[in-house]
Amino acid sequence: MKSKVWILPAVLCCLLAGCAPAGGMTVKGPEGNDSGTGQEEKLQIVATIFPPYDFARQIAGDRAEVTMLLKPGMESHSYEPSPRDILAIEDSDLFFYAGGESDVWVEEILGANDGGTQAYALLDWVDPLTEETSEGMQVKGHDHGKEGEAEGHAVHLEETEYDEHVWTSPKNAMVIVKEMCALMSKNDPENAGYYQENAENYLERLQELDEAFDLVVRKAKRKTLVFGDRFPLLYFVRTYGLDFYAAFPGCSAETEPSAATIAFLTQKVRQEGIPVVFYLEMSNGKIAEAVAEASGAQTAVFYSVHGITAKDLEAGEDYLSLMDRNVESLKKALW
């Protein structure tokens, strides 16, 4: 265990004042690991959000302690680390985060740590895609400061910003799992063979998921998805050659669409005979319902797997099971 401790000034004040902030959570791994037993002897892995947490625990099994900072059901784009979260990062052997604009706080913390933490951004392991808007998308209130509505399909935002939701493509997930496995094996060579075997088994399942999506798209009657919601699935649609229309960009803070946005999406659904309007998990689905009602379509949830609800986590849901649901939803939208 590391002996060096660093604390940001604001965090120090909070701790001295006796705060008891809510920290991240450590959840049992897929093999039922009791993280409270011998944890000081195990590899300590911390992830900000569900995708890297889930990938890490699939590889680690019961040989490492994997902690997720974002609580189940919490909105990831508005997350701010607690003092306990920051200390967990400092004490970790490996720290995984998405990268991108939502993780500016990570760079600040790592800067204060003066390079003492092995931190890795998922965005650095894949070919990054520049964040885009689609025709009719409302970008006023976008977290990164852009305003107005897109006038053409697939318009790049003025400043170069990369979409951070890299895990939405199973192909990227495979790259991420390989990178994580290599790092775990390097930091814990005694269990390297165990990590590699778990990773190989998991990669086979990710390959099957990729093939399932590919088959759906190859048999599709149409290639357009409509989201009455934010759209954090750029890597997914680019992987499988799909088009999209949505109410807001992936990191938008906006929740109230304009009448023009609703009208545009409704018109597209009618014109192209699109049977399903999607909304994201942990969304109220009201925009999708409005578009669907006006156009005669149905609504369905599509999982970005950015976060997970407490109910789904308790039920044992994971990246693969949630993405499997997307396979079935995609059939309804494209066939």
Residue that finishes a domain, picked among 177, 207, 237: 207
pTM (predicted TM-score) = 0.83
pLDDT reading at 153 higher than 60? no
Strand segments (E) across the chain: 25-26, 43-47, 64-68, 94-97, 119-121, 132-133, 155-156, 224-231, 243-249, 276-280, 298-302
Asked, for residue 327, whether it belongs to a domain, the answer is: no
Which residue, 97, 93, 42, is CA-closest to 68?
97
- In the predicted model, what is the mean pLDDT of residues 73-77? 81
CB 87 within 8 A of CB 5: yes
| CB 307 within 8 Å of CB 330 | no
pLDDT in tens, 166-201: 999 999 999 999 999 999 999 999 999 999 999 999
- For residues 107 and 37, membership in a common domain is answered with yes
Domain for residue 319, yes or no?
Answer: no
Same domain assignment for residues 188 and 254: no
| Residues 73 and 193 reside in one and the same domain | yes
Give me the pLDDT at residue 275, please. 98
Q: Which bin fits 226, alpha (ψ -120 to 50), beta or left (φ > 0)?
A: beta
Region 87-96 average pLDDT: 96
Range of the domain at 174: 9-128+165-207
124 & 142 share domain: no
Whether residue 323 lies inside any domain: the answer is no
3 belongs to a structural domain: no
Residues 107 and 145 in one domain: no
- Is there a domain that residue 332 lies in? no
43-47 and 25-26 strand pairing: unpaired
Taking the mean position of all CA atoms in its chain, how far away is CA 253?
Answer: 16
- 58 part of a folded domain: yes
Q: Judge whether 69 and 85 are in contact, CB under 8 Å.
A: yes
State whether 252 and 121 are in the same domain: no
CB 77 within 8 Å of CB 98:
no
Domain CATH number, residue 99: 3.40.50.1980
191 and 156 in a common domain:
no
- Considering the domain boundaries, does residue 157 fall inside one? yes
Instruction: Among 182, 207, 232, give the residue marking a domain's end.
Output: 207
Residues 26 and 136 in one domain: no
322 within a domain of the structure (yes/no): no
Do 201 and 232 belong to one domain?
A: no
User: Nearest-5° angle of CA 55, CA 173, CA 200?
Assistant: 65
Pairing verdict, β 25-26 and 132-133: unpaired
Q: Does 187 share its domain with 270? A: no
Q: How confident is the model at residue 25 (pLDDT cuts 50, 70, 90)?
A: low
- Burial class of 48 by CB neighbour count within 10 A (0 to 12, 13 to 18, 19+): buried
Cα-Cα end-to-end distance for the chain: 53
Q: Which band of pLDDT confidence, cut at 50, 70 and 90, is reported for residue 136? A: confident
Residues 99 and 84 in one domain: yes
Helices and strands of the chain, counted as H and E runs: 11, 11
Helix axis angle, 50-60 to 192-218, nearest 10°: 130
Q: How far apart are the C-alpha atoms of 76 and 50, rounded to whole Å?
A: 10
Q: What integer best gives the mean pLDDT of the chain?
A: 84
- What's the rounded mean pLDDT across residues 115-130? 93
Specify whether 282 is located in the same domain as 178: no
215-233 pLDDT, tens digit each: 999 999 999 999 999 999 9
Give the count of domains, the chain.
2
Query: Please, what is the angle between helix 83-91 and helix 104-113, to 10°?
Result: 60
Three-state SS for 128? coil
User: Is the pLDDT assigned to residue 6 strictly greater than 60?
Assistant: no
pLDDT of residue 109: 86
